[in-house]
Structure 1
Amino acid sequence: MSLSERKTIDLEQGWDFMHKGITKLKNILEGLPEPQFSPEDYMMLYTTIYNMCTQKPPNDYSQPLYDKYKEAFEEYIVSTVYKELHGKMRDAIISLIDQEREGEQIDRALLKNVLDIFVEIGMGKMDQYENDFEADMLKDTSAYYSRKASNWILEDSCPDYMLKAEECLRREKDRVAHYLHSSSEPKLLEKVQNELLSVYASQLLEKEHSGCHALLRDDKCEDLSRMFRLFSKIPRGLDPVSSIFKQHVTTEGMALVKHAEDAASNKKADKKDIVGAQEQVFVRKVIELHDKYLAYVNSCFQNHTLFHKALKEAFEVFCNKGVAGNSSAELLATFCDNILKKGGSEKLSDEAIEETLEKVVKLLAYISDKDLFAEFYRKKLARRLLFDKSANDDHERSILTKLKQQCGGQFTSKMEGMVTDLTLAKENQTSFEEYLNNTPNTDPGIDLTVTVLTTGFWPSYKSFDLSLPAEMVKCVEVFKEFYSTKTKHRKLTWIYSLGTCNISGKFDPKTVELVVTTYQASALLLFNSSDRLSYSEIMTQLNLLDEDVIRLLHSLSCAKYKILNKEPNTKTITPTDYFEFNAKFTDKMRRIKIPLPPVDEKKKVIEDVDKDRRYAIDASIVRIMKSRKVLGYQQLVMECVEQLGRMFKPDVKAIKKRIEDLISRDYLERDKENPNMFKYLA
């Protein structure tokens, strides 16, 4: 038959003939009863395929035949060859992987080639790889590391165990890089992490001599970093680590509190300052503790929020404990005072002062009674400013900026007002001196400095109508005249308790300059016209209360400098005592300062803060109720606590008391049907 007369073979007809040949070949390969191919069979198959591939379009079936033959070949490989061999391949590969885990050398290239068969068989899908190899490999991995972990947890310390765990994870990653499919990595590591870490997390972290507590105690930063890296990989793995961290920091902080308490108790007999050196050491130690564990959070624990939270909660526990009857708020304010005042116990460079102030403000974040700190700080700031005790104005402004950033503008508004006030007061003093120079007949005969302050900014001070000596009366009158030229709308209230005087004491041995308070000066000047005065005469002439007279007379007759002689010669002041000028007094110094006995201002500060808190609670309740109109008791208390929490932790009983007070003043009313519901009265 010539080529031109060749009959066209369609695809289905030709493939049907070919498929019979393929079936015959499969039977022969599998040893089934089937006669061998004859030369005629070969020739017929060859000719048919050749003709189908060389027919003119559209009857050229070379590509469709290739695709169908490929499908048939793949189907045979998968159903017969792969099915027979994949189990043996899988087991051999897993065995080799375990051998490598035990340190033996294996042919990684061979393993890679064999594993590629699982992937290639899937023809773009991972089903064969995942189902026929990976699932069993992962199961074997779990079993392998379960056996290892059960031995290591008994034999090794926590650091050694973690080193092994980290190395195992590194090696498993390496296996993925060299012969396992990349999709296996997360599943493989999860199995290793589960067996080595999740299963034994509690035992590992709580190992008596080498667990997390011991690592923190012994400052094992490298091991703690490794612990963080490992446990951050497992679900909620960092929860127990952060919990132990919190316990450890709390324990160390409470130990500082106890040590400070014990030291303060031992020093009580010395009758030092109200807040003594031991309390100062306590604050310094707390700062050092915070520095240490904040560094741990930032480095070992990679700045993780869970550890910041743990650090905060730990410090909140012991930073709100008092020491020797002094609240943390007072201790912190006193610590700042010692840094900022001239001659304070904290001798630091400017840079160190700034750094320390920054740390103090960070500690303040943990103290619940921030309003109490503010009041103590304001009292001490007032003394520094009024008595020229502040070492550096820049540092004073710097800490106010830091406090403002931490606690808000309302927190520092009064303190900032005080600093501004003092600047204005200095300008006012300059104007007063110009007034004296330019106005005839105004010279009071005494050098006079007056500091005019704004009442709202400064702490409240007792104001008494002290009967001033004639020399001082003239000073007051002259300044009043000057001030009336500046403003007609402001009233001056003189706070003599804060005044100081330099007077010249003409004693028989020599003249000594005495630096005293206005009260003390007024009392001493009485002896210019009287040689001997009784307690009651001094009290009457000065127009002071008993407690103030006792303090000033004690400072002049019973303390270090006995400017007055007292009858009887005892260490206490009584209303029956008499006093005389001690003409024989002398001292090696030509200028001495005679202090008044210190007054414990703590009670007054706490009273002022309690009063301010009542106002704050009232305002908060009214704000909430004005917005909500009707609210239940529990919800009102909860919102009130939340609103005020930035400044202080309000007592629930105090809130209840303020609610009752607001009801009595017709701001609120109880619901008639439900007494636990409140309505706002506009």
Structure 2
Amino acid sequence: MDQDQTPIALEDGWRDMEAGIARLKRILHGVDGTSFTSQEYINLYTMIFNMCTQKPPYDYSEQLYKRYKQALEEYIKSTVLPSLKSKHGEFLLRELVERWKNHKVMVRWLTRFFHYLDRYYVSRKLLLPLKELGLSCFHDLVFGGLKTTLTTIVIDMVDNEREGQLIDRALLKDVVGIYLEIGQGSVGLYELDFEKAFCKGTTDYYSKKAQIWMLEDSCPEYMLKVEDSLQKEKERVGHYLHASTEEKLLEGTILELISWRAEEILYKENSGCRVLLLDGKYEDLSRMYRLFSKIDAGLFHVSKIFKEHVKEEGMSLLKHAADAANGTKNEKKEAVGSPEQEFVRKAIELHDKQLAYVTNCFQNNSAFHKALKAAFEDFCNKDVAGCTSAESLASFCDSILRKGGSEKLSDEVVEDTFDKVVTILSYISDKDLFVEFHRKKLGKRLLFDKSANNEHERSLLSKLKQYFGGQFTAKMEGMLNDVSTARDHQTAFEEYMRDKLPNHRVDFSVTVLTTGFWPSYKTSNINLPSEMIKCVEIFKDYYNSKQKSKRLTWIYSMGNCNIVAKFDAKPIELIVTTYQAAMLLLFNGSERLSYSEIVTQLNLPDDDAVRLLHSLSCAKYKILNKVPSNRIISPNDVFQVNHKFIDKMRRIKVPLPPTDEKKKVVEDVNKDRRFSIDASIVRIMKSRKVMGHQQLVAECVEQLSRMFKPDIKIIKRRIEDLISREYLERDLETANTYRYLA
């Protein structure tokens, strides 16, 4: 400004400014055009500029700052407040939004006119910037008095929307925007004046709804409504709320709909979690998982019910097997095999079904895998119809691997079944007992040519080895290799026989076994008939010519013979054991033989003699006649060939009475366990040198639990035995502590 220019008086200048403000009001109301011209804007800006840059005492910056605020307050009091006073509900919101838009336009133009004041005076005096001052005026005079009413109206509108009514979402977004804009980028005002009350209104709404839904709806219907509500609340945030509200809004909704009612939902009569599991409701269970994963310990409670369900289903299978074994329940026609084999088949089906829940419904969550494992470990380690689960599983495998043991299964089904067998075995603590039973049955299949498929035998061993380690299957792999090698021996032996004894009339085959691989079989020095002795001697000569460093031990109890018996009606081929054959061949030289004569000539123990004579004279096929003719074998009995014997078949198998092999297997396993415990204790003490009793027992249990669950009392006895054998000694200075003796 030129030095000789006359200063602008405050009132004169403000009069022009008032004219500009009046023009602005008319523009806002659509009365006087839509905007200022460039010249009008420049004139007003220049006037304010001049009034702020005049030398004291004509610098009116302070007065203009105050009048800026007064002008806004006057506009609000004269125009805005009266227009809002007569409005209610949604109409109040619309009016407020409109007035807020006008207010922002007014503030924007005035701050442009007073820009110089904002740049220098406000910043120098550290005053509230003009824009913020304008927003503050609206908050203090308008918003502060209405915010409670506004929040109530918004909550009512949202509740109406939750009830299915259509509302003006754009209007709500604009109203919520006012909270945020007045806060100038901060959500503090929004959270304090709106969000807190809105979230409270939401929890109140869903608290009432939860009570109604729980009474009226089934568990699946309730969960469907909960999931739908959560999804809509999430969408609601996207439509007209601030993003920061989502977490709090969902948290409150989840609290009311799930957390407070978790037990009611899970145990709801006729439709709770257990019922969903029983009915195979995959979609509902998936929804339950999704909902309960949102609350603390929610999945723990679901997994607990899942575990109880699986355990109860397993116990039901055990009861069914026991009922079937006792004959108290009619077996279904489709049931295959013994009750214990049927139990294994049903257990595999149960595992498939429950694993499908874990995979498809519970997203492979580790808590559900642990629950499944714990439940199966619980019932799979109980006896099945008088048999251990280990024996039942071995019998089940035998039914698949034995010729004629089960229905014809494709290779793919067999492979899949073996995978599932290995899984079930992983739940059984006495895995070594399974190995021994399986080895015993494998031996019979291999020695009596009852194995249906050699590749299936190896496949199962491969899976067992992969899962439990090479030590688990080493002996059984050796058995398979022995049989393969024995075939080569037999081929070579037959060529040897043709060369040495071309006119020999007896077909004779031998299977050479490696002692360490096979189960222990009963041996006795039975006096064989001359025909058999000749065959044995020939094979000895052959084998000694091939293997000079190895000694043969003959196990006649595992041998089989086919002999032709000439009865009056017709000759019949008898399939008998070596012992039975030796006994029958005695009658080629004598028509009648007493019990004592038979025992003496064969050099048989009494228990073997009784079993053999019972099978030939008192069982299904009475090849011999017994005097007296009862079913009890006694030392005074006399036997002779039953020439009148007849059967419609030309070839029959004469079975021996069954023996209790289970007892022998258990004894062998217990003996092996003692060795394993000894080895484990020595191995641990050798590395530690000194160790407390509790720590030694715990580490021993941990080492051995992969194969069996050792009894603590037996471990204690084995420690005492090792002390007596001077592998260990008690520490004289420290109680319950052992030292390793090198």
Q: TM-score with structure 1 length normalisation? A: 0.89
Query: Is the counterpart of residue 655 in structure 1 residue 696 in structure 2?
Result: no
Counterpart residue number, 1:271: none
**Residues 509-528 of structure 1: pairs in structure 2 closer than 5 A:** 509-528=569-588
Query: Is the counterpart of residue 354 in structure 1 residue 354 in structure 2?
Result: no
* CA positional deviation for 1:480: 1.1
Q: Do 1:534 and 1:577's aligned partners in 2 also have CA atoms closer than 8 Å?
A: yes
Query: Which of 690, 697, 702 is 1:630 aligned to?
Result: 690
* CA positional deviation for 1:67: 10
Q: TM-score with structure 2 length normalisation? A: 0.83
Q: Do 1:444 and 1:475's aligned partners in 2 also have CA atoms closer than 8 Å?
A: no
- CA RMSD in angstroms comes to 3.1
Counterpart residue number, 2:161: 100
Counterpart residue number, 1:117: 178
Query: Is the counterpart of residue 532 in structure 1 residue 592 in structure 2?
Result: yes
Query: Which of 353, 359, 368 is 2:429 aligned to?
Result: 368
One-letter amino acid of the structure 1 residue matched with residue 309 of structure 2: H
* CA positional deviation for 1:383: 0.5
Query: Is the counterpart of residue 21 in structure 1 residue 64 in structure 2?
Result: yes
Q: Do 2:318 and 2:385's aligned partners in 1 also have CA atoms closer than 8 Å?
A: no
One-letter amino acid of the structure 1 residue matched with residue 190 of structure 2: Y
Mapped partners of 1:637, 1:228: distance in 2: 41
One-letter amino acid of the structure 2 residue matched with residue 247 of structure 1: E
* CA positional deviation for 1:128: 2.4
Deviations 1:541-563 (A, max 9, x none): 11121111111111111122222
Mapped partners of 1:427, 1:228: distance in 2: 60
* CA positional deviation for 1:117: 2.7
Counterpart residue number, 2:312: 251
Secondary structure of 2:524's aligned partner: coil
* CA positional deviation for 1:677: 2.2
Query: Which of 324, 327, 332 is 2:385 aligned to?
Result: 324
Counterpart residue number, 1:576: 636
From the superposition, tell whether residues 85 and 289 of structure 1 become closer, same or farther in structure 2 (CA, over 3 Å).
Answer: same
From the superposition, tell whether residues 119 and 513 of structure 1 become closer, same or farther in structure 2 (CA, over 3 Å).
Answer: same
Counterpart residue number, 1:611: 671
* CA positional deviation for 1:406: 2.4
Counterpart residue number, 1:396: 457
**Residues 522-601 of structure 1: pairs in structure 2 closer than 5 A:** 522-601=582-661
Q: Do 1:370 and 1:648's aligned partners in 2 also have CA atoms closer than 8 Å?
A: yes
Mapped partners of 2:462, 2:129: distance in 1: 82
Secondary structure of 1:662's aligned partner: helix
Deviations 1:130-165 (A, max 9, x none): 233222222222222122223322333222221221
Query: Is the counterpart of residue 214 in structure 1 residue 275 in structure 2?
Result: yes
Counterpart residue number, 1:36: none
* CA positional deviation for 1:75: 5.0
* CA positional deviation for 1:30: 4.1
Q: How many residues align?
A: 658
* CA positional deviation for 1:354: 2.6
One-letter amino acid of the structure 1 residue matched with residue 663 of structure 2: K
From the superposition, tell whether residues 679 and 61 of structure 1 become closer, same or farther in structure 2 (CA, over 3 Å).
Answer: same
* CA positional deviation for 1:61: 6.8
* CA positional deviation for 1:276: 6.6
Secondary structure of 2:258's aligned partner: helix
Secondary structure of 1:364's aligned partner: helix
Mapped partners of 1:583, 1:466: distance in 2: 27
Please say which of residues 483-492 and 211-220 is displaced more in the overlay.
211-220
Q: Do 1:444 and 1:474's aligned partners in 2 also have CA atoms closer than 8 Å?
A: no
Deviations 1:92-128 (A, max 9, x none): 3223222222322211011112222333334443322
Query: Which of 529, 535, 556 is 1:475 aligned to?
Result: 535
From the superposition, tell whether residues 494 and 87 of structure 1 become closer, same or farther in structure 2 (CA, over 3 Å).
Answer: same
* CA positional deviation for 1:586: 2.9
Counterpart residue number, 1:168: 229
One-letter amino acid of the structure 2 residue matched with residue 550 of structure 1: V
Query: Is the counterpart of residue 448 in structure 1 residue 508 in structure 2?
Result: yes
Deviations 1:331-361 (A, max 9, x none): 1111111111111144433333333222222
Query: Which of 436, 443, 446 is 2:497 aligned to?
Result: 436
Q: Do 2:445 and 2:451's aligned partners in 1 also have CA atoms closer than 8 Å?
A: yes
Q: Do 2:136 and 2:182's aligned partners in 1 also have CA atoms closer than 8 Å?
A: no
**Residues 403-414 of structure 1: pairs in structure 2 closer than 5 A:** 403-414=464-475
**Which structure has the larger Rg over C-alpha atoms?**
2
* CA positional deviation for 1:25: 3.2
Query: Which of 640, 646, 649 is 2:700 aligned to?
Result: 640
Secondary structure of 1:580's aligned partner: strand
Mapped partners of 1:79, 1:246: distance in 2: 61
Counterpart residue number, 1:138: 199
* CA positional deviation for 1:564: 1.7
One-letter amino acid of the structure 2 residue matched with residue 361 of structure 1: V
Q: Do 2:403 and 2:451's aligned partners in 1 also have CA atoms closer than 8 Å?
A: yes
From the superposition, tell whether residues 267 and 178 of structure 1 become closer, same or farther in structure 2 (CA, over 3 Å).
Answer: closer
Counterpart residue number, 1:490: 550
Mapped partners of 2:621, 2:453: distance in 1: 31
One-letter amino acid of the structure 2 residue matched with residue 382 of structure 1: G
Secondary structure of 1:235's aligned partner: coil
Deviations 1:363-412 (A, max 9, x none): 11211111111111110111111100011112111111222222222111
Mapped partners of 2:495, 2:148: distance in 1: 107
Mapped partners of 1:113, 1:31: distance in 2: 25
Deviations 1:452-496 (A, max 9, x none): 111111101011122111111111111111111211111111110
From the superposition, tell whether residues 49 and 506 of structure 1 become closer, same or farther in structure 2 (CA, over 3 Å).
Answer: closer
* CA positional deviation for 1:424: 0.9
One-letter amino acid of the structure 2 residue matched with residue 409 of structure 1: G
From the superposition, tell whether residues 594 and 124 of structure 1 become closer, same or farther in structure 2 (CA, over 3 Å).
Answer: same
Counterpart residue number, 1:289: 350
Q: Do 1:11 and 1:61's aligned partners in 2 also have CA atoms closer than 8 Å?
A: no
* CA positional deviation for 1:540: 1.5
Q: Do 2:594 and 2:638's aligned partners in 1 also have CA atoms closer than 8 Å?
A: yes
One-letter amino acid of the structure 2 residue matched with residue 408 of structure 1: G
Mapped partners of 2:122, 2:67: distance in 1: 23
Secondary structure of 1:522's aligned partner: helix
* CA positional deviation for 1:613: 1.0
* CA positional deviation for 1:52: 8.8
Q: Do 1:159 and 1:223's aligned partners in 2 also have CA atoms closer than 8 Å?
A: yes
Query: Which of 360, 368, 388 is 1:299 aligned to?
Result: 360
**Residues 129-208 of structure 1: pairs in structure 2 closer than 5 A:** 129-208=190-269
From the superposition, tell whether residues 89 and 47 of structure 1 become closer, same or farther in structure 2 (CA, over 3 Å).
Answer: closer
Percent of paired sites with the same residue: 61
Deviations 1:173-199 (A, max 9, x none): 110121112222122111111110000
Mapped partners of 1:569, 1:218: distance in 2: 60
Secondary structure of 1:353's aligned partner: helix
* CA positional deviation for 1:255: 1.6
Mapped partners of 2:353, 2:176: distance in 1: 51
Query: Is the counterpart of residue 223 in structure 1 residue 284 in structure 2?
Result: yes
Counterpart residue number, 1:41: none
Counterpart residue number, 2:448: 387
* CA positional deviation for 1:415: 1.1
Mapped partners of 1:80, 1:423: distance in 2: 101
Mapped partners of 1:51, 1:355: distance in 2: 85
* CA positional deviation for 1:205: 1.2
Deviations 1:436-455 (A, max 9, x none): 234x4586542111101111
Consecutive unaligned residues in structure 2, runs of 5 or more:
8-48, 76-109, 330-335
Deviations 1:548-597 (A, max 9, x none): 11111111111222222221111121111111222332322222211211
Q: Do 1:213 and 1:245's aligned partners in 2 also have CA atoms closer than 8 Å?
A: yes
Q: Do 1:340 and 1:390's aligned partners in 2 also have CA atoms closer than 8 Å?
A: yes
* CA positional deviation for 1:6: 11
Q: Do 1:297 and 1:308's aligned partners in 2 also have CA atoms closer than 8 Å?
A: yes
Please say which of residues 18-27 and 527-536 is displaced more in the overlay.
18-27
Q: Do 1:523 and 1:538's aligned partners in 2 also have CA atoms closer than 8 Å?
A: yes
Consecutive unaligned residues in structure 1, runs of 5 or more:
33-44, 54-59, 269-274
